[in-house]
Amino acid sequence: MSIEVDPKRARPLPFVVAWIVMLVLWGVSLWTAFLGLGLWAPIIQFGIAAIQVTTVFILFMRLKGPASLKSLFAVSGFFWLLFLYGLSMIDYSNRKGWPPVAPVSSSQQVHPPGS
């Protein structure tokens, strides 16, 4: 019997390249944490995380290829998150007194261990 090899599984090179790219992106993300970029730091870091996650979804979790029902499932997960974040932020951002003031100033209360 001849073994029919799935062509998408035949070559490891794209996965190795994706792994290297993800590690390089991690290095960039770590580097930006020490640059004092202010508000831009989390934007860049979460942007890099989004690129890494997309790479994992498309290549490692095998969403690459013709559109299928599993792609629809994966995209629906993203939209559920969008609803969750969107509706929650609309709620909180319209509340009076948000964002709140920190309840304790930086002079600090200090809890003893075990309290």
Partner 1 sequence: MPDSVIPAPEIQYANLAQQGETAELGIWAFLINETVFFGALIFTYYFYRLSYPDEFAAAAKDAVLWAGSVNLVILVTSSLTMVLAINAAAQGARKEMIRWLVVTVALGVAFAIVKGVEYYLDFQDQVVPAVNFVAKPGQGSVGELFWVFYWVATGLHAIHLITGIGLVLYMLLWPIRRGEITPAYYTPLEVVGIYWSFVDVVWLFLYPCIYLVGRS
Q: Which residues are near partner 1 by CB under 8 A?
A: 3-6, 9-10, 12, 15-16, 18-19, 22-23, 26, 29-30, 32-37, 41-42, 45-46, 48-49, 52-53, 56-57, 59-62, 68-70, 73-74, 76-78, 80-81, 84-85, 88, 92, 98-100, 102-106, 108-114
Looking at beta carbons only, is 78 or 94 nearer to partner 1?
A: 78
Distance of alpha carbon 19 from alpha carbon 12, whole angstroms: 11
Distance of alpha carbon 31 from alpha carbon 9, whole angstroms: 34
As measured in angstroms, the least distance from the Cβ of 111 to partner 1 is 6
Distance of alpha carbon 49 from alpha carbon 55, whole angstroms: 10
Which residues have C-beta within 8 Å of that of residue 68, sequence separation ≥ 6?
Answer: none
Looking at beta carbons only, is 94 or 108 nearer to partner 1?
A: 108
As measured in angstroms, the least distance from the Cβ of 54 to partner 1 is 10
As measured in angstroms, the least distance from the Cβ of 92 to partner 1 is 7
As measured in angstroms, the least distance from the Cβ of 23 to partner 1 is 6
Distance of alpha carbon 67 from alpha carbon 57, whole angstroms: 14
Q: How far apart are the first and last CA of the chain?
A: 70
